[in-house]
Amino acid sequence: MEYNNKLRVIELFAGVGGFRLGLQKANEKLFDIVWANQWEPSRKTQDAFDCYSRNFNTGIHSNEDITTVSDETFHNLQPNLLVGGFPCQDYSVARTKSGEQGIQGKKGVLFWEIKRVIEHTHPKYVLLENVDRLLKSPSSQRGRDFAVMLATFRDLNYTVEWRVINAAEYGMAQRRRRVFIFAYKNGISFEKKQSGLSPEAIVFNEGFFAKPFPVEQEPYKNRVSSVRLPEDIVKISDEFSHAFHTAGYMKHGQVFTSHVTPVLEEPIPLREILIDEEAVPEKFFLTEANIEKFAYLRGPKKIERTTADGHVYNFSEGGMSPTDELDKPGRTMLTSEGSVNRSTHIVEVEGKKRFLTPVECERLNGFPDNWTDGMPDRMRYFCMGNALVVDLIQRMGERIEEIENTNEMAQVQMELSVFS
């Protein structure tokens, strides 16, 4: 379908471009990425940014500290959609010294940059990704940080849906769990349509996530709850706590949340993402010393340790398989992938044990082969450990396209009714 009005997209914390790649796979004629920012502090080489710039040749590519980008820059971009994967940080807030000037967030927290961009652009849609522990942080006040985020969107006049998605449960090659947050501006066609539905219908059937990522109709172990967020965001920061489940909906500060069970799709097994064994360079095969080290790291252990103040305790760790099962999807890939680390994938093919190659790690996340070629192997692993699963974003992009099609049809019908 041809679109008269493309969706202008801003990509924050772009990494190597997983959001952009997924949206382009959904429909590159609809999604026009006009500006993307990627900046790695304290690094002389900007490998992720260089990778992004090699693979994409349209739009503005920004390699600067996001906090130094002017409000005017964002205002002039006029985005319809803002996307980004941002760090899980401490989102506590406090009253400013004068009191009347509102609140201030903790310095250096990048979510406040997302807030700043939204305040100066008011996009129709916002799509964000984070680690799923965001819903429970901090441990001393469970759910506070996510509640502060929800209240921020409420105060910016947005409705919010969220869902924790394990990519392998929806047919992909990696057991990677992440929380996705979709916020949409109150007053747009989609919000008006959704406002006629119950929160249960949105979370289980009709919502942004429920369509492309269907779930069973009954909540897991009857885990359902509702709560109203306090009006004062400082009160939320100081006192609020709530058990947010894996899916939910927030409108005007009223929250509905439930632990949902995915309708499972057959995942891609690890063996299907492996390259031809004859093409694997020798450096990726384990040495005898490495084999011995991994046997210890992946084995069960109980170690006596002493804290700085002299307290003695036992650290215990269960055992895991010496190698990763080739008939199952890969485990969650971390930034330490490829190093001698318990979490690193080890495969055994034709009797030989080895690391995954960088290309195989790209495939775990749904990137094209050699997407990160041009940077050191260590950084290729690091970037893939930070990346998201592209095909998840493709599905979300297709859902946004569906919403846009509905909006256009509603607009046409309204115009026809005017002239009839």
E strands present in 259-391: 301-306, 312-317, 346-349, 352-355
Q: Is 232 exposed, middle or buried (0-12, 13-18, 19+ CB in 10 A)?
A: middle
- The active-site residue out of 51, 88, 361, 383 is 88
What the block records as the tokens of 175 is 């057991």
Q: Is 51 a catalytic residue?
A: no
Cβ burial of 419 (10 Å; 0-12, 13-18, 19+) is: exposed
Among 29, 37, 38, smallest CA distance to 7 is for 29
Q: Identify the bridge partners of residue 128 per DSSP, sorted by sequence position.
A: 84, 181
Strands 31-37 and 60-62: parallel
DSSP symbol at 308: T
Reference 85, options 19, 24, 182, 164; nearest CA is 19
First vs last C-alpha separation in the chain: 26
What is the DSSP code (8-state) at residue 163?
A: E
Query: Catalytic residues, which ones?
Result: 88
